Amino acid sequence: MAVGALCERCRTRSVVFAREDPPGMRLYRCGGCGEIKRACPRCQQRGWLRHYLVDATPPSRYVCDHCMATWDSSWRSMTPEQGVWPAEVWGERLRAVVDYEFPRDRD
Ligand SMILES: [Zn+2]
Ligand SMILES: [Zn+2]
């Protein structure tokens, strides 16, 4: 996955490696729409990290859509144990948010 992956947003295959931020977390950028995507280091970049807000401190959760690995905003691991329903770890009110702004949306 990652390089050459299908961009869900613009349906093109123009995803390229951008940089690591923080070290070990690989960021990719879609050449079609400019979206920045964060690949999961735990499952060898098979999943993208999705950004959610929960009722906790800190409120951010980055959740892999492939392996469920989870981090908070300071990159502390919050991955739920196997068999634990994620709501017990993340709370009930999980709200998806956009991780980065899309530069071209501001035109
Ligand atoms: Zn795109
Ligand atoms: Zn993963």
Map residue 36 onto helix, strand or coil: strand
Q: Which residues surround ligand 1, an ion (CB under 5 A)?
A: 7, 9-10, 30, 32-33, 35
Please state the domain extents for the chain. Answer: 15-106
Dist. CA 106 → ligand 2 center (Å) = 31
Per-residue confidence (pLDDT) for residue 57, from 0 to 100: 81
What pLDDT, in 10s, does the model give residues 23-33? Answer: 988 999 999 99
Cα separation, 99 vs 62, whole angstroms: 9
Taking alpha carbons only, the member of 25, 24, 28 closest to residue 6 is 28
What pLDDT, in 10s, does the model give residues 59-98? Answer: 888 889 889 899 988 899 988 887 776 666 667 677 777 6
Predicted TM-score (pTM) of this structure: 0.79
How many degrees, rounded to 5, is the angle at CA 70 between CA 69 and CA 76? Answer: 125
User: Strand 36-38 relative to strand 60-64: parallel, antiparallel, unpaired?
Assistant: unpaired
* Residue found by looking up tokens 């989870």 in the block: 70
Dist. CA 40 → ligand 2 center (Å) = 5
Rounded to 5 degrees, what are φ and ψ at 64? -70, 130
